[in-house]
């Protein structure tokens, strides 16, 4: 070890022991510092112990870490580092052998290692010139049997291979199999938990699976070929009879049926005669340039990853039922009354709510053209990644519109106290997110009341009754916010839940504040989330954000995947980049990756590219690692020079994570002054940062770090310095 001590005259003493330094103690006065050790050749001779500091070394631009009282002392710390390195070199030379032990850059500011850029995904975060993704188009005809509580269907899925690879097999997502006996879901989640099956046993039954190939000759009829099906529970492998070449398409025809679980992992199910139907058809898994086939099992907690396509649905239900679904209703004249058709036309031009089906009409039977037999409702949608539906004989139906986009609400009379406002809540949500971030692209948004506590699908937001209108809006606008993440920006939810749930929770704070400002503006709502994260950090219960959702303790899911990433984005917007720069960059991310599949690296790179700032330290601390945040006032020294108070302040960073410094000085005359420093000031010394100030005619009585609580800081007991007697 080498230890350097300085007396008040700038005379030093060196004591050396054998061994190489990696992080050695450097003692300067009473301050103990750490420096990164290395072996360097030095052009400067090592002075003898007891000699004065050589004046020719004074100007070297090394950091000053403490408040000196003379020019001589100001260079002590700078010089000490050089002496340390020179002594190391001398010691190594004496041994005639230099043992080099490379040490990786472990600083929070080290470059973040991201996947190598390529022709598919660029270093700027843009989709590359050869970016590709596959496509799946569906035609599905389904019948709901309300007596047996089951769905039977036939499906044709046309799959287009835009990849450079020939595919000899396809993988289907068969999520209903999570409700089979002894499924992985049942072995992980307790039966009575949110994602448990509540004792229900179901699963898909495939009646027929065939590949439909083009005819052997031009104009010849298509051929139906036998395929091999391998059941792997919630994913199913289909070995094609004919391989699918790049740039080509093939189709699968599947006939199937399944029993509808009452509680389908809180993502679908039924409540009496009301059915909310999702994960209801075998969906093609995503084959992408990042992982090939994405075959993570469906356990209930991790959500979905799907390709885009067009959907045509034909839903046959008892005639007394009203159906809501993804897509535009294409046969309204056949399934609605003339009065309802006229009301919908009026609502299409109204920014106020029009009642399409009323409670009185439900009670009298006038809500349906007829009540016997069955009716088939038809819906069509373009460029969506999924399609779902709900049906009930008790649905009231409200409608409004914004810029030609319909905003619907479907709810039972028992929920009317809160839900009579839901269509307008839906309208406000799409307006807010469209105007702030990216235009909503589809013909309607529908809020649907039922047993599902909160779930999102293209054009569909499923919610429960809600405690009051405030509680309902928080859920409605959250699920509608998912139309942007992941319905438009289609990241892989089953791998990185935070990339949709966290982003959505962040944009929700703007919508909630707009609707009900009496419950707090956007900054107040963000602070509420921040306070929760600070408490979780203080308790040591927080986890890294970038963890697969199926590995997160369900009790911490809301913290890890929702609140913590939301708080991170708020810190990035308000305290690091600034609202204008952040909003431009965030919009650019949405624009670049609309209807595509971004990874976390694509997000990081786009934000840096559009904001013009390297943020490795932020991504690492907040998203990749599990850094804590704790700034402090380590020391404040004041000295009078005539009518000027000279102040030296040492700001401390007690944890791994770094954030900007927001300091407030309060003076003897009652005035205050703010000093703000970017997080990069910690880059050369992530433990302490020293600043000197001069104040004419006034003396500081208090110095505070983050006095308004804008930054994450899990220990605020060390954030204030007060003058003696003040």
CATH 2.60.40.10 fits 631-722, yes or no: yes
Burial label for 20, CB within 10 Å (0-12, 13-18, 19+), is: middle
* Residues whose CB is less than 8 angstroms from the CB of residue 30 and which lie 6 or more positions away in sequence, other chains included: none
Q: What is the mean pLDDT of the segment spanning 592-611?
A: 98
Q: Does the 513-624 domain belong in CATH 1.10.390.10? A: yes
Per-residue pLDDT, averaged over 538-547, amounts to: 94
Q: Which of 28-37, 542-551, 621-630 has the lowest mean pLDDT?
A: 28-37
| 8 A C-beta contact, residue 601 and residue 127 | no
- As a whole number, mean pLDDT of residues 102-107 equals 84
Asked if the model's pLDDT at residue 475 lies above 60, the reply is yes
- According to the model, what pLDDT value does residue 101 have? 63
Residue 26: what pLDDT? 31
- The pLDDT tens digits for 316-335 are 999 999 999 999 999 999 99
**pTM: predicted TM-score of the whole model, two decimal places:** 0.86
Q: What is the pLDDT of residues 443-466, one digit of tens each?
A: 999 999 999 999 999 999 999 999
Residue 169: strand pairing partners: 239
In the predicted structure, residue 66 carries a pLDDT above the cut 80 = no
Confidence of residue 39 (pLDDT cuts 50, 70, 90): very low
Each residue of 129-139: pLDDT tens digit?
A: 999 999 999 99
Question: What's the distance, CA 88 to chain centroid?
Answer: 47
In angstroms, the CA 639 to CA 508 distance is 49
Per residue in 490-500, pLDDT tens?
999 999 999 99
Q: Can you give the pLDDT at residue 43?
A: 33
Number of CB atoms found within 10 A of residue 535's CB: 13
Query: What rounded mean pLDDT belongs to the chain?
Result: 88
pLDDT band at 726 (very low <50, low <70, confident <90, very high): low
pLDDT at 44 over 80: no
The span from the CA of 480 to the CA of 515, in Å, is: 14
pLDDT on residue 102: 65
* DSSP-assigned states of every residue in 150-174: EEEEEEEEEEE--SSS-EEEEEEE-
Q: Is 196 helix (H, G, I), strand (E, B) or coil?
A: coil
What three-state secondary structure class fits 342?
Answer: helix
**197: confidence class by pLDDT, cuts 50, 70, 90:** confident
Domain boundaries, the chain: 2-95, 135-321, 326-370+394-409+420-448+466-483, 513-624, 631-722
**Of the listed ranges 101-110, 299-308, 554-563, the one predicted with least confidence:** 101-110
Of residues 20 and 646, more confidence is placed in 646
Question: Percent of the chain scored above 90 by pLDDT?
Answer: 81
* Overall average pLDDT of the 165-171 stretch: 98
Q: What is the 3-state secondary structure (H, E, C) of 516-537?
A: CHHHCCHHHHHHHHHHHHHHHH
Domain 135-321 = CATH 1.10.10: no
Do residues 427 and 443 make contact, with C-beta atoms less than 8 angstroms apart?
no
Pairing of strands 405-411, 444-449: parallel
Query: Of how many residues is the chain composed?
Result: 726
665-688 pLDDT, tens digit each: 999 999 999 999 999 999 999 999
**Domain 135-321 identical in fold to domain 513-624:** no
Spatial distance between the Cα atoms of 704 and 717, rounded to a whole number of angstroms = 11
pLDDT classification of 100: cutoffs 50, 70, 90:
low
Cα atoms found within 13 Å of the Cα of residue 371, Cβ hemisphere only: 10
Q: How far apart are CA 113 and CA 133, in angstroms?
A: 25
Q: What is the pLDDT of residues 375-427, one digit of tens each?
A: 999 999 999 999 999 999 999 999 999 999 999 999 999 999 999 999 999 99
Rounded-to-integer distance, Cα 91 and Cα 19, Å: 9
Query: What does the angle CA 233 – CA 235 – CA 241 come to, to the nearest 5 degrees?
Result: 115
With a cut of 80, say whether residue 57 has pLDDT above it.
no
Percentage, residues of the chain above pLDDT 70: 86
Mind listing the pLDDT tens digit for each residue in 346-374? 999 999 999 999 999 999 999 999 999 99
Question: Is there a cis peptide before residue 402, judged by omega within 30 degrees of 0?
Answer: no
Q: What is the pLDDT of residues 512-535, one digit of tens each?
A: 999 999 999 999 999 999 999 999
At 90 the pLDDT is 45
């Amino acid at each position: 070890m080498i230890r350097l001590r300085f007396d008040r005259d700038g005379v030093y003493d060196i004591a050396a022991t054998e061994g190489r330094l990696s992080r050695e103690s450097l003692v300067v006065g009473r301050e103990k510092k750490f420096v990164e050790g290395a072996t360097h050749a030095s052009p400067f001779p090592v002075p003898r112990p007891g000699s004065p500091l050589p004046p020719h070394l004074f100007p070297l631009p090394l950091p000053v870490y403490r408040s000196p009282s003379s020019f001589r002392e100001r260079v002590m710390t700078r010089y000490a580092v050089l002496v340390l390195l020179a002594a190391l070199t001398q010691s190594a030379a004496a041994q005639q052998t230099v043992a080099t032990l490379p040490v990786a850059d472990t600083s929070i500011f080290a470059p973040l290692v991201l996947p190598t850029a390529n022709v598919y995904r660029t270093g700027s975060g843009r989709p590359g010139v050869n970016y590709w993704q596959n496509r799946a188009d569906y035609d599905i005809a389904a019948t709901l049997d309300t007596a047996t509580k089951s769905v039977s269907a036939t499906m044709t899925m046309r799959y287009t291979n835009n990849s450079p690879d020939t595919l000899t097999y396809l993988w289907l997502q068969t999520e209903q199999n999570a409700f089979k006996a002894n499924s992985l879901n049942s072995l992980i989640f307790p039966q009575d938990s949110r994602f448990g099956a509540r004792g229900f046993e179901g699963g898909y039954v495939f009646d027929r699976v065939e590949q439909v190939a083009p005819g052997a000759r031009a104009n010849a009829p298509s051929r139906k070929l036998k395929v091999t099906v391998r059941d792997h529970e919630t994913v199913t492998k289909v070995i094609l009879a004919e391989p699918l070449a790049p740039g080509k398409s093939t189709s699968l025809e599947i006939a199937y049926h399944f029993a509808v679980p009452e509680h389908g992992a809180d993502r679908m199910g039924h409540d009496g005669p009301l059915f909310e139907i999702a994960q209801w058809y075998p969906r093609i898994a995503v084959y992408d340039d990042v992982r090939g086939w994405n075959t993570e099992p469906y356990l209930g907690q991790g959500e979905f990853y799907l390709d885009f396509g067009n959907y045509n649905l034909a839903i046959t239900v008892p005639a007394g039922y009203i159906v809501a679904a993804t897509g535009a209703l294409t046969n309204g004249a056949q399934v609605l009354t003339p009065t309802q058709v006229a009301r919908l036309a009026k609502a299409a031009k109204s920014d106020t709510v029009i009642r399409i089906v009323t409670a009185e009409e439900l009670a009298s039977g006038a809500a349906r053209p007829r009540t016997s037999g069955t009716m088939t409702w038809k819906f069509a949608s373009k460029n969506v990644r999924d399609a779902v539906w709900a049906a009930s004989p008790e649905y009231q139906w409200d409608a409004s519109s914004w810029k030609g986009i319909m905003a619907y609400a479907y709810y039972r009379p028992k929920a009317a106290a809160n839900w009579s406002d839901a269509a307008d809540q839906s309208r406000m949500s799409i307006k807010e997110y469209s105007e702030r971030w990216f235009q909503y692209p589809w013909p309607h948004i529908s809020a649907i009341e039922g047993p599902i506590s909160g779930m999102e699908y293209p054009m569909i937001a499923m919610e429960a009754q809600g405690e009051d209108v405030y509680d309902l809006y928080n859920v409605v606008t959250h699920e509608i916010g998912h139309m942007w993440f992941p319905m438009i920006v289609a990241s892989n939810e089953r791998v990185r839940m935070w990339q949709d749930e966290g982003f959505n929770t962040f944009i929700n704070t703007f919508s909630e504040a707009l609707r009900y400002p009496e419950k707090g503006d956007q900054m107040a709502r963000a602070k509420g989330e921040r306070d929760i994260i600070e408490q979780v950090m203080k308790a040591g219960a927080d986890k890294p954000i970038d963890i697969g959702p199926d590995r997160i303790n369900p009790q911490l899911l809301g913290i890890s995947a929702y609140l913590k990433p939301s708080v991170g984005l708020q810190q990035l917007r308000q305290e690091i980049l600034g609202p204008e720069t952040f909003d431009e960059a965030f919009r650019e991310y949405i624009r670049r990756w609309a209807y595509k599949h971004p990874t976390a690296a694509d997000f990081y790179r786009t934000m840096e590219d559009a904001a013009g700032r390297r943020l490795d330290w932020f991504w690492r601390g907040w998203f990749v690692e599990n850094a804590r945040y704790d700034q402090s006032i380590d020391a404040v020294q004041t000295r009078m020079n005539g009518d000027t108070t000279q102040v030296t302040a040492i700001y401390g960073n007690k944890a791994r994570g770094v954030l900007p410094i927001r300091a407030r000085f309060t003076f003897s005359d009652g005035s205050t002054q703010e000093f703000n420093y970017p997080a990069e000031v910690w880059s050369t010394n992530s433990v302490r940062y020293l600043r000197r100030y001069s104040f004419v005619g006034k003396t500081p009585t208090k110095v505070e770090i983050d006095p308004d609580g804008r930054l994450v800081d899990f220990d605020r007991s060390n954030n204030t310095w007060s003058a003696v007697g003040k």
